Structure 1
Amino acid sequence: MEQKDDIYYIEKVKAGQTNYFSYIVERYQDIVFSIAMKVLKNREDAEEMAQESFIKAYKSLHTFKGTAKFSTWLYRITYNNCISEVRKRKMHFASTDDVQIADEAEEMNLDGIPEENRAQAIKAAMDKLPEDEYTLILLYYFEEQSIEEISKVTKLSESNTKVKLFRARKKLYTILNELMKDELYTIL
């Protein structure tokens, strides 16, 4: 159903009704910003890159063929823009404090983590992941992208995507365990 909604708005924009692009921006702005934030590690740069990604998507909309999900195409633009910017600036990555995880984080079933602390624990653990692993987790669990779609975004083979996602999930679990141990020590 989302695919059909995206196509509807895309066709309207292609037909000259450019105001419909605002629906696309509204739908994807949080995830595009999250990807940019994780790669660039700077809120201002991430906001600028998210905006540039939408501009590039708008200008290139005529090249979107609809063979893949629009979200996959847009995330690929965002990821490529961010990686290009990092290479151009040769930035050193710092830690993030402002990455926003969608509300879906609270719906994950994480036994042992009090419900009211789940989103905070997930965000803290994800902040400790390298940007490539963060992106994989974000796309798979929060954006519900398939392995095939993620492999298109990251330009990894599907089997490599599965392996890296497995390792990222394992690392996230380890980080969550460590965070929970630290939390227990502070409570006691």
Structure 2
Amino acid sequence: MSNTNDHYYIEQVLKGNTDAYAYLVQKYQDMVYGLALKMLRNEQDAEELAQDTFVKAYRSLSNYEGKSKFSTWLYRITYNSCVTFLRKRKLQINSLDDSKLSDQDEAKIQSQLESVNKEELTKYLQKAMDKLPGDDQVLITFYYYEEQSMDDIAGITNLSVSNVKVKIHRARKKMYVVLKEMLQEEVYSFL
């Protein structure tokens, strides 16, 4: 039904009722801002980029073909705008080396995390997410938190499905490295 509502408002905007666009902005502003904030890690930049995204989407609305959900199309615009913004700023993001973690280490961390209560687990996972580069955070969020399909993520990011799978796998490995370091620090703080 929500997709139908989107199409109704899109048609209204295309027919000249520009006020109808306010519905789409209101419905998706948190989604667009959230994605921009995850990637840019700066509230002001995220706000500015979110506004620019809605302006770009408005100007390109006639190009929206309806083959994907409107939210997917809007995610794609937001994601691409963030990538362009980051390239312009030439932001250096430290990458974590996934070769630091063996399969045994990953299993050990998984076991430790299973013994942690849900509230603590959420805290650990959020801290680990915050330490990932923005694009890794976005992929993890799309797949695990927003339950987007690999096909949808590929459509949003303009990556192949196999590339999305590889990047999500690597992002998970990076999270395990961060979690391993956090758990080791906690053990040392108890000693």
TM-score range, shorter chain: 0.7 to 0.9
Asked whether the equivalents of residues 41 and 134 of structure 2 are also in contact (C-alpha less than 8 Å), the reply is: no
Within the alignment, does 1:125 sit opposite 2:125 as a pair? no
Superimposed CA distance per residue, residues 123-180 of structure 1 (whole angstroms, 9 cap, x where no aligned partner): 2111111222111111112222211111122121111111211222233244334434
Please give the root-mean-square deviation of Cα atoms over the aligned residues, in Å. 2.5
List runs of 5+ in structure 2 lacking aligned partners: 95-112
Structure of higher CA gyration radius: 2
Give the TM-score normalised by structure 2.
0.76
Q: CA separation in 2, counterparts of 1:37 and 1:87? A: 16
The 5 Å alignment of 1:1-188 reads: 1-93=1-93, 111-183=114-186, 185-186=188-189
Residue 184 of structure 1 and its aligned partner are, at CA, apart by 5.3
Superimposed CA distance per residue, residues 13-61 of structure 1 (whole angstroms, 9 cap, x where no aligned partner): 2233333323322332223223222332321111101111111111211
What secondary structure does 1:167 align onto? helix
What secondary structure does 1:60 align onto? helix
Aligned-residue identity in percent:
50
Residue 93 of structure 1 and its aligned partner are, at CA, apart by 4.8
Q: CA separation in 1, counterparts of 2:19 and 2:190? A: 52
Q: CA separation in 2, counterparts of 1:33 and 1:120? A: 22
Greater helix share, 1 or 2?
Answer: 2
Asked whether the equivalents of residues 49 and 82 of structure 1 are also in contact (C-alpha less than 8 Å), the reply is: yes
Superimposed CA distance per residue, residues 85-134 of structure 1 (whole angstroms, 9 cap, x where no aligned partner): 2222323459xxxxxxxxxxxxxxx7334233344332211111122211
Q: CA separation in 2, counterparts of 1:183 and 1:31? A: 34
1:19–1:114 CA distance, 2 compared to 1 (3 A):
farther
1:141–1:19 CA distance, 2 compared to 1 (3 A):
farther
List runs of 5+ in structure 1 lacking aligned partners: 95-109
